[in-house]
Amino acid sequence: MLVYPSSIDLSGRTLRFLTGRLAARRQDIGTRWRRLPASRQALLALAHLRCGDTYAQLAAGFGIGIATVYRYIREAVQALAAIAPSLAEAMRTIRQKAFVILDGTLLPIDRIAADTPYYSGKHKRHGMNVQVLTDPFGRLLWASPALPGSTHDLTAARHHGIIAARTEAGLRCWADKAYQGADGPVRVPFRGRHLKRWKHCHNTTHAKIRCLGEQAMATLKNWRLLRKLRCSTNRITDVVKAVLVLHHAST
């Protein structure tokens, strides 16, 4: 296989952060020797998460076996997922905001037509539902565990306790029409074709606020692995958590 030099659009700060986490993990478990040092393992994991490079490509580029690549990436993802903030922890930061924006996204997966629970009728494809909270400037604050793509956004928000947490905190939340019927201070646009003028104005203002939440979706999709996940659905939550931690470490 031919090998060529490439680049990753991340800062050295992100690499140093992950290197430190991996070095600490190796010390905790008493690792004596590895094929790659912690810094190279961190680089390998970032190439997979950010660029979506396959195990075979990484094995050829780093001169190690495919099984070793799999173990290194899984170890890095688990180390990052372990320090990802929970919703309760994220709420301490969120309470300082004037309001938050709630939205859901579908992370595409490679599944066959028989996998009905993972098929989203809205997006006409298989995937995993992830709920995202952003601040008024569109910065990513928290991402939920992944649920099958057939899960409705409002059902997913209730399942994760997002609606209850917003209600308890009394924090205003902007969301789209998918969250119609949500309890608490969740603001959604009016539905219908023949709306009064003031309702049209309300929907226009609402859309201008909520569109900032699309920046968070773009932030997630900048990690190219999330554009087409080919791993087990049981691992996707850890991958999302790892991406969230790396994003916070780089900002």
The string of pLDDT tens digits covering residues 168-226 is: 877 888 888 888 877 767 888 888 888 888 888 888 888 888 888 888 888 888 999 99
Please check the confidence at residue 16 and state whether its pLDDT lies above 80.
Answer: yes
- Which is higher by pLDDT, 33 or 71? 71
Task: Report angle CA 12, 16, 18 to the nearest 5 degrees.
Answer: 120
Place of tokens 């993990």: 25
* CB of 190 closer than 8 Å to CB of 202: yes
Closest C-alpha to 6, from 61, 45, 79: 61
Mean pLDDT of the 21-27 span: 93
What's the confidence (pLDDT) of residue 112?
63
Position of tokens 């601040």? 135
Give 118-123's long-range contacts (Cβ < 8 A, gap of 24+).
Answer: 118/148, 118/149, 118/150, 118/233, 119/149, 119/150, 120/149, 120/150, 121/150, 123/149
30-60 confidence digits (pLDDT tens): 888 889 999 999 999 999 999 999 999 999 9
| Residues 94/141, Cβ–Cβ less than 8 Å | yes
**74, burial (CB in 10 Å: exposed 0-12, middle 13-18, buried 19+):** middle
Contact (Cβ atoms closer than 8 angstroms) between residue 189 and residue 202: yes
Q: For a pLDDT cut of 70, what percent of the chain falls above it? A: 97
- DSSP structural state of residue 136: T
pLDDT at 69 over 80: yes
* Phi, psi of 127, deg, nearest 5: 180, -175
Residues 8-32 have a mean pLDDT of 92
